[in-house]
């Protein structure tokens, strides 16, 4: 075929979505995944919970680990206030390249920064290199076994403040057992589990975990 699934998705978006319209990009991406090829986007149900969190929290600085094609980055950024921004980290160069195109198609390149590096290396540099003081929202959606490594690193870097929200995808499928045990056992968070459908699969159950940081600044 010569093309990857992600490149085929981007082609479909370019042909069917309205340039500069984030809602159109998301709707078209969901349509592609339901009618052409499945892809590991957060999708409608998980996306609605993410929308609710962003609308209520009104975060200024957001961090996403695991951009993939940029679906959730667009989902988050479309609801951000004018000066707010999202830093999203993707270790896979092919995914990052597609994500940058999707972000541009949505017209959100001024609010979203896609970084093609390893998450741990960027987290260590957020204060010095990326001018971040505190993170209001963190979305964990990269390799599941890395959730626990990176949340510990984020705590170590003192990047969270009272009220910061850590939202984790896939805590059931593929699962992130070490992370769930850690975050639910920590006195620094108040966690809530949401049972949701796995993306684009109406007969499969997944779960997302919303954790509010209540620890020391």
Ligand X SMILES: O=C(NCCO)c1cc(-c2ccc(F)cc2)cc(O)c1O
Q: Least distance (Å) from ligand X to the CB of residue 110?
A: 25
Q: Which residues bind Mg ion (CB under 5 A)?
A: 141, 169-170
Kindly list the strands in the beta sheet with 112-115, ordered across the sheet, starting from the edge strand earlier in the chain: 112-115, 85-89, 61-65, 135-140, 160-168, 205-213, 189-197
Q: Does 40 bind ligand X (CB under 6 A)?
A: yes
Q: How far is the CB of 173 from ligand X (least distance, A)?
A: 5
What's the CA angle centered on 46, arms 131 and 56, to 5 degrees? 55
Active-site entry in 30, 90, 101, 169: 169
Please report, as residue ranges, which positions from 122 to 151 form the binding site for ligand X (by CB under 6 A).
141-143
> Closest CB to Mg ion among 9 and 132?
9
- We find the least distance from the C-beta atom of residue 216 to ligand X, in angstroms, to be 31
From the candidates 90, 136, 150, 199, give the one annotated as an active-site residue. Answer: 199
The nearer residue to ligand X, 133 or 201, going by C-beta atoms, is 201
Q: Among 20, 93, 163, 174, indicate the residue that binds ligand X (CB under 6 A).
A: 174
Task: Tell me, yes or no, if 144 is annotated catalytic.
Answer: yes
Query: Does the annotation mark 199 as catalytic?
Result: yes
Active site residue 170: yes
- Residue 173, contacted partner among Mg ion, ligand X, none, CB below 5-8 A by kind: ligand X
Q: Could you give the string, one character per residue 75-114, with x where binding to ligand X holds by CB under 6 A and - elsewhere?
A: ----------------------------------------
Pair of tokens at residue 214: 């209540």
**Whose CA is closest to 87, among 70, 107, 104?**
70
Q: Catalytic residue, from 170, 206, 209, 210: name it.
A: 170
Q: What CA–CA distance (Å, rounded) separates 99 from 104?
A: 9
Q: Does the footprint of ligand X cover residue 170 (CB under 6 A)? A: yes
CB 96 within 8 A of CB 68: no
CA-CA distance, 14 to 3, in Å (whole number)? Answer: 15
Q: Residue 182 has which token pair?
A: 């850690």
Residue 175 to residue 7: CA distance in whole angstroms: 27
Cβ pair 73, 24 in contact under 8 A: no
Q: How far is CA 60 from each of CA 12, 48, 112, 185, rounded to the nearest angstrom?
A: 32, 19, 12, 28
* 169 annotated active-site: yes
Q: What residue ranges bind ligand X (CB under 6 A)? A: 40, 66, 68, 141-143, 169-170, 173-174, 199
């Amino acid at each position: 075929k010569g093309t990857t699934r992600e490149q085929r998705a981007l082609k479909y978006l370019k042909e069917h979505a309205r340039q500069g319209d984030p809602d159109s990009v998301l709707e078209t991406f969901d349509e592609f995944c339901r009618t052409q090829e499945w892809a590991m986007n957060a999708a409608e149900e998980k996306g609605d919970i993410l929308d609710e969190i962003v609308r209520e929290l009104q975060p200024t600085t957001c961090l996403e680990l695991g951009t993939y094609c940029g679906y959730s980055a667009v989902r988050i950024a479309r609801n951000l206030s004018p000066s707010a921004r999202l830093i999203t980290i993707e270790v896979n160069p092919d995914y990052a390249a597609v994500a940058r195109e999707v972000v541009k198609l949505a017209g959100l390149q001024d609010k979203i920064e896609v970084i093609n590096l390893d998450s741990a290396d960027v987290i260590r540099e957020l204060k010095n290199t990326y001018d971040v003081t505190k993170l209001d929202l963190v979305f964990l959606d990269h390799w599941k076994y890395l959730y626990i490594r990176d949340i510990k690193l984020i705590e170590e870097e003192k990047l969270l403040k009272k009220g910061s929200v850590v939202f984790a995808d896939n805590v059931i499928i593929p699962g992130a057992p070490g992370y769930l045990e850690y975050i639910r056992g920590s006195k620094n968070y108040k966690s809530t589990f949401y049972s949701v459908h796995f993306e684009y699969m109406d007969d499969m159950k997944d779960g997302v975990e919303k954790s509010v940081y209540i620890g020391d600044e």
